[in-house]
Amino acid sequence: MSVEQRTENVDGLRWFRSSYSGSDGGDCVEVAVAAGGGVVCVRDSKVADDGPVLRVGHGGWAALVSLVAK
Domain total in the chain: 1
Confidence at residue 11, expressed as pLDDT on a 0 to 100 scale = 65
Q: Is the pLDDT of residue 12 over 60?
A: yes
Distance of CA 64 to the CA centre of its chain: 13
* pTM > 0.85: yes or no: no
- Is residue 45 within 8 A of residue 21, CB to CB? The reply is yes
Q: Which domain holds residue 42?
A: 3-68
Give the pLDDT band (50/70/90) at residue 25.
low
For the chain, what is the mean pLDDT?
77
What does each C-alpha distance from 21 to 2, 26, 29 come to in angstroms? Answer: 10, 7, 8
Which range (8-12, 20-24, 31-35, 53-57) has the least confidence?
Answer: 8-12
Calculate mean pLDDT across residues 49-55: 84
